[in-house]
Amino acid sequence: MIEAVGLTKRYGAKTAVYNLSFQVRPGTVTGFLGPNGSGKSTTMRMILGLDAPSQGQVTIGGYPYRKLPNAPRQVGALLDAKAVHGGRHARNHLLCLAQLSGIPARRVDEVLGVVGLQDVARKRSKGFSLGMGQRLGIAAALLGDPQVLLFDEPVNGLDPEGILWVRNLMKSLAAEGRTVFVSSHLMSEMALTAEHLIVIGRGQLLADMSVTDFISANSADFARVRTPETEPQQREKLTAALTEAGGQVLPEQDGALRVMGLPLPRISDLAHGADVRLWELSPHQASLEEAYMRMTQGAVDYRSTVDQRAGLQQQLPPGAVPQPQPPVPGQGQPNWYAPPSPQQGGQPFAMPQGAPAAPPAPADANPYAAAPQAPAAAPSPAEHATDNTGTTDNKDAPR
């Protein structure tokens, strides 16, 4: 078990990790998420005793890492697939690590087989692809048959077969009762692998909960509605009708509408009532990615802007109007991934079977009355994150 208490790391004036407390439990795969630069790797390095915390402490099975009598037999880690001497054979690399903790050489051949590198065991790791490097790193982590495993971005550069293998490996390691702590940026992968999540942003703990709780707490389902493209006035009409009925409507790039706060049958009824034909009416289940994006959007340090290519363009002749660029989904649109949370931002979209429960008993008119200002007034539980809610126009200035 990994236990961090008040973990803080400062590099000069910059605080990389601040007052982080969490526990990673055995028997489950725990995902470790956060935007770039949020302190994931720093935390991992502190767990492994490579960096000394400025404050607080982190222990593994009750011991600080550097006090473990034979660390590789208790903790295996893959920090960086490129953290090998490229001039050394894969086998020699593992052998010198094995010798460091008294592991017999035949175990080296064993783990080489486990990760599928037995054919390149005598090749210098300099020539390895990223995926092969990851496999070598995983082999090093498995070498000591440890109780606790840490993986930093283990599926980076792996082929689909390798990703599947890593996913199953993580699950089987956890099923054996080991503590498995994995950081990754691949949300779809995390949703499949992890059962528990620890999310940090700007070095602070944002969430420590199970994946299902995380998704339901940080996102809402919505309906996608499409009206005939030939008749844009129908779209306006439907938007008005849905908004009036208490729904929250956001236009999507391809002309569809994103409707929150209304169950599917009700949307259909409203459209019928407004005499609008529908080309599409589909439910959309929130994914871990959306939940993650919503939670971390306020904690993202490195945000991309729309590429205006202004530096390459020739000076336009006076009077010429530059061609407006179609906005790219997600870019410069803070709320793209962020349907309002079920708690505050109006009612979540509910599936038909949930419909009776979703509108609270006294609230048949109530949410409808409150709804029009709800999107603007109650953006989210993480208010700091969404200071310009509802704007879907192209804002390329990062906040």
Pick between residue 48 and residue 170 the one whose CB is nearest to another protein.
48
Q: Which amino acid is at 380?
A: S
Q: Is 87 in the site for another protein (CB under 8 A)?
A: yes
Report d(CA 387, CA 216) in Å as an integer.
Answer: 22
Cβ(321)–Cβ(223) below 8 Å: no
Pick between residue 106 and residue 309 the one whose CB is nearest to another protein.
106
Cβ(144)–Cβ(73) below 8 Å: yes
Report d(CA 149, CA 162) in Å as an integer.
Answer: 18
Report d(CA 168, CA 172) in Å as an integer.
Answer: 6
Pick between residue 49 and residue 283 the one whose CB is nearest to another protein.
49
Enumerate residues 140-179 that contact another protein by CB under 8 A: 140, 144-147, 176-179
Pick between residue 1 and residue 363 the one whose CB is nearest to another protein.
1
Give least dist CB 107 to another protein, A: 8
Give least dist CB 278 to another protein, A: 45
Binding residue (CB under 8 A) for another protein from 36, 55, 57, 82: 82
Give least dist CB 281 to another protein, A: 40
CB neighbourhood size of 28 (10 A)? 19
What are φ and ψ of residue 228, in 5° steps? Answer: -55, 130
Give least dist CB 38 to another protein, A: 18
Give least dist CB 251 to another protein, A: 44
Pick between residue 79 and residue 374 the one whose CB is nearest to another protein.
79
Give least dist CB 203 to another protein, A: 16
Q: Half-sphere exposure of residue 204, counting CA atoms within 13 Å on the CB side?
A: 8
Greatest extent of the chain over all pairs of C-alpha atoms, in Å: 77
Q: Count residues binding another protein (CB under 8 A).
A: 51
Burial per residue of 180-213, b for 16 or more beta-carbon CB atoms within 10 angstroms, e otherwise = bbbbbeebebbbbbbbbbbbbbbbbbbbbeebee
Q: Which residues bind another protein (CB under 8 A)?
A: 1, 23, 25-28, 45, 48-52, 65-75, 77, 79-80, 82-89, 92, 95-97, 99-102, 140, 144-147, 176-179
